[in-house]
Amino acid sequence: MWTISAVVLALAVILVSLLVIRLTRNKPTTYRQENQRPVSVPYAPAEGGAVALIIDDMGHSKSAALPFLELDVPLALSFLPGRPYSAQLAEEGFARGKTILLHFPMEPKGYPGINPGKGAVLISQDSDEIRRILKEDLRSVPHAIGLNNHMGSLATENGRVMTDVLEFVRDEGLLFIDSRTTSRSVAYQIAKDLNVSSAERDIFLDNERDEDAIYAKVTQLLDLAEARGWAIGIGHPYPETARVLKRAVQDAERRGIRWVSLQEIVRHVDPGN
């Protein structure tokens, strides 16, 4: 028969074993791939799903930016290079805890009739010119941790151009979001091939500047997050979008869906980078 002390010892061993198992399951693992920085494999998003939202075309107007700076969710603000208020608003967004991105202009179909603006990469440019433009654009947006494409329906279909862009992104330790302005984009696949921390946009929220239409798109985004576990949306600094997002914050809370940083979604989607 077991003595009381033996029973106590056995129970203690069991409790310690259970504690070790629990800690191991909840601790993110880190590992180093050859010639790469250490990376963290994150926890899966909480039950109910997680949403990250990018607001594009920032930098033109302080008043347009203000509602998004004040919104109490971890938005990513994506600034066009060299715009009148890009640097100032990027500094303010960073101070308020927002994620800062470069909204990188790239050649669209229909160029030059459709113009992506200053600081754009064109398919006629060589590798050195593309890298020079990227460096200059990044200098105009302080605190940028990555970029997503502005326009680029032609450039993102071009494997040579996207390889040049994404090799720079990788070398600088940045992340990349494919805005998917064309269904034939090769950008995300090349990013994965080059081990660039990356993801792609799921839903544009405000192609139609109508509050009911925007609300329907936000609801679709939340539905996707609930079904798949995560979703990435892109909006613009429109007053209609700002008003809808205030409602959407409450909708997400009621449904148990978290608003999270873009970095958290990227780590979940792409845990190997």
pLDDT in tens, 161-211: 999 999 999 999 999 999 999 999 999 999 999 999 999 999 999 999 999
CA distances in angstroms from 222 to 17, 104, 149, 232, 237, listed in the order given: 39, 27, 23, 10, 20
Amino acid (one-letter) located at 162 = M
In the predicted model, what is the mean pLDDT of residues 93-118? Answer: 98
pLDDT at 22: 44
Which pLDDT band holds residue 6 (cuts at 50, 70, 90)? low
**In DSSP terms, which residues pair with 40 in a beta bridge?**
30
* Residue with tokens 């050859």, as numbered in its chain: 34
> How far is residue 140's CA from residue 99's CA, in Å, rounded to a whole number?
16
> What percent of the chain is predicted at pLDDT more than 70?
82
**Secondary element (H or E) of residue 31:** strand 29-31
pLDDT digit string, tens, across residues 231-270: 999 999 999 999 999 999 999 999 999 999 999 999 988 8
**CATH fit for domain 48-269, picks 1.10.260.40, 1.20.1050.10, 3.20.20.370, 3.40.50.300:** 3.20.20.370
Cis status of the peptide bond prior to 112, with omega within 30 of 0 = yes
In the predicted model, what is the mean pLDDT of residues 32-45? Answer: 35
**In DSSP terms, which residues pair with 102 in a beta bridge?**
79, 147
pLDDT at 5: 58
Maximum separation of any 2 CA atoms in the chain, in Å: 90
